[in-house]
Amino acid sequence: MSMQQEASAIFEPGESTAQQVRISVETLAYLALFCFALVLRLAEIDTTPLMPAETHNALAAWREVMPNAPGMRLIATSPILFGLQTLSFSLLGASELTARLATVIAGAALVLTPVLFRPLLGSTRTFLLSLLLAFSPVLLIASRSSSPDVWALLFAMISLWAFWQAVQWYRYATVAVIIFTALLFLVGPSGLVLALILLVAAGVTMLWRRGTLLADNDEVAEGSLEGIRASLKWALPLSLLGIVVVSTGFMLFPAGLSAVGEVVGGAVRALTQPTGIGGYATLVSLFYEPGLWVFAIASLILRRDRLTTLDIFLTSWVVLGIIASLLFVDGVPDHALWVTVPLAGLAVNTLVRIFSPDEDITFLAAPRWARWVIAFSLIGILCVFTLSFQSLARSMLAATGAALTAVAPESDSVILLLVSVMFLLIGFFLFASLWGNRTSWQGIGLGFAIFTMVTSLGSGWSASVTQAQNPAEFWHTQATHSDTTLMRETLFEVADRLSGAFPVMPVTMMVPQDGEVAWLLRDFENAEYITDLDDAIGDEVVILPATIDQSQWGDGYVGQDFTVTRTWNLSTLSLIDLPALWTQQQARVPWTGADRVVLWLRTDVYQGLDVSSEVG
């Protein structure tokens, strides 16, 4: 056969040498889920000012990137955040977006981490678990800030996957140790606690299963341990190298090593010097994700006689997370992430049972669409119930006392509540008599899951965007006020007058060097922090606490008041406030304290006189 004939035989019509790339429906579903999670985290991210818990780490990174930035050098509480924020600030400048960008991406990536465990969970459980994480309000709120707890959970999931893989492929043992070491020393105090939770949960599971956590027989377990030991000779040096490289930004910022020591010190202080409410993280999880708790508990009840090794591990994780929130008292709501993944992992079992076929035929064989009819009927009833309950909750806010007898509820709301409950009971018995109890419960579970997922996602968006400056929001009882944006704009307007739009005018201020005002003035190189009020006399632009009256330090100034943060004390909450707080983020006492500053301009500056020659 000639070369021409061979070529014609190879390139037959309808055939191609290029391999066709086929993307499955499952892959497209995960891509859509990732895009959905990423859009939720990026939308309006730059309109929400940094919260008090975010400014310290952001300023620590910014002052390393910009040595001329005002203020003293700070030690970051999270080495991973320090490294990533210095990188983003170096490339894109400092802003609310760049301070949070890396954590936003990590939060979206967390939604896809169940894919790592697909061979263990199966395709259905894996996708449902990713779906629950995508709709998790706790994960949404935390990943829309520069929270190190998001990185802690991401490292935890990757390290668990690597340990699981190490049983069959020993080279993964080194990866597991490196990632677990990063969880211990690069995330922050909360990462160290989460690592201990995972270790103890694994120990409890092994004791429960008599040492067969990942293997079904002793020979496999013994061989795995031998292979793992042999592959760990490079784990420790590589882990140490990774800590140094990440914390110092490839040795560009040697001060980052100080943050590693701060991790251990912060954990010790949180355990020995409590500053918050014990169990606050658990309360946050119950407040924002009640559906996860309901389905997780239902899963344990339904599978109580046949709990798997994974069920025991996840249950131990949840219990230890609750205990840790009681001991690790620092009042950080982000620690609710400690139980989010194990709760979702348990809840998935209940969701899978919802879609299992029903063989309990009472009158008619239940069609596939039966549970969907019941589900949407329940959603309609729950919508009516919720609207009437919110109206009743608003009427409770008008009560003058703390007793329930002081409430004067609207009659229409009470009637709608009773009617919706009545329809719920009648509908259940009607559908049960037609399609059986199992199908009825499946429809109710499906409707409740859809309703709680949508409403929980709405509460997460509200807490992180629309109610971000509301201190009565349960997530942040100390919230940065929108006045801070106005204050920064005002400062740049003054700079435009004094120094030709360049932020080089001198600003004298008596504020914390790692607080919200310090972040607002990050670009003003000639800003000066003072502790003595006499140092501000005669300066052109002065920022002082609102508690200091003008008569205490001098005349000849014009001032404008700005609210920096507002605080809400949980002790003001009573029983009749809880319904409105839970459904609408409202309370009879909206805030209990405010941190305010006054921007003072010398009279000649305020009147627009030419003082540019005085500006250094």
Cβ-based neighbours of 38, under 8 Å, separated by 6 or more: 104, 105, 108
Which pLDDT does position 223 carry in this prediction?
A: 47
pLDDT (tens digit per residue) in 593-608: 899 999 998 888 887 6
Which pLDDT does position 218 carry in this prediction?
A: 46
- Identify the sign of the CA torsion 589, 546, 100, 150: negative
Cβ-based neighbours of 198, under 8 Å, separated by 6 or more: 156, 159, 160, 317
% of the chain with per-residue pLDDT over 90:
36
pLDDT of 530 higher than 60: yes
pLDDT of 553 higher than 80: no
pLDDT (tens digit per residue) in 288-316: 999 999 999 999 998 887 888 899 999 99
The Cα 560–Cα 550 span in angstroms is 12
pLDDT (tens digit per residue) in 453-480: 999 999 999 999 988 888 888 888 889 9
First to last CA, the chain: 88
Mean pLDDT of 106-117: 95
pLDDT of 1 higher than 50: no
Place of tokens 């002081």: 406
The Cα 149–Cα 155 span in angstroms is 10
Which pLDDT does position 573 carry in this prediction?
A: 81
Burial of 80 (0-12, 13-18, 19+ CB in 10 A): buried
Which pLDDT does position 225 carry in this prediction?
A: 58
Mean pLDDT of 163-180: 84
pLDDT (tens digit per residue) in 125-142: 999 999 999 999 999 999
pLDDT band for 221, please (50, 70, 90 cuts): very low
pLDDT band for 114, please (50, 70, 90 cuts): very high
- pLDDT, the chain, mean: 83
- Identify the sign of the CA torsion 420, 426, 429, 431: negative
pLDDT band for 22, please (50, 70, 90 cuts): low
pLDDT of 16 higher than 70: no
Mean pLDDT of 167-171: 77
- Identify the sign of the CA torsion 417, 420, 423, 428: negative
pLDDT of 50 higher than 50: yes
The Cα 248–Cα 86 span in angstroms is 10
pLDDT of 399 higher than 90: no
pLDDT (tens digit per residue) in 358-371: 655 555 567 778 88
pLDDT band for 403, please (50, 70, 90 cuts): low
| DSSP single-letter state for residue 209 | T
Mean pLDDT of 150-159: 95
Place of tokens 């921007």: 599
β-sheet with 507-509: strand ranges across: 478-480, 557-567, 593-602, 541-545, 507-509, 527-529
* HSE of 80, CA atoms in CB hemisphere, 13 A: 27
Q: SS3 string of 132-193? A: HHHCCHHHHHHHCCCCHHHHHHHHHHHHHHHHHHHCCCCCHHHHHHHHHHHHHHCCCHHHHH
Highest mean pLDDT among 329-333, 355-359, 481-485, 495-499: 481-485
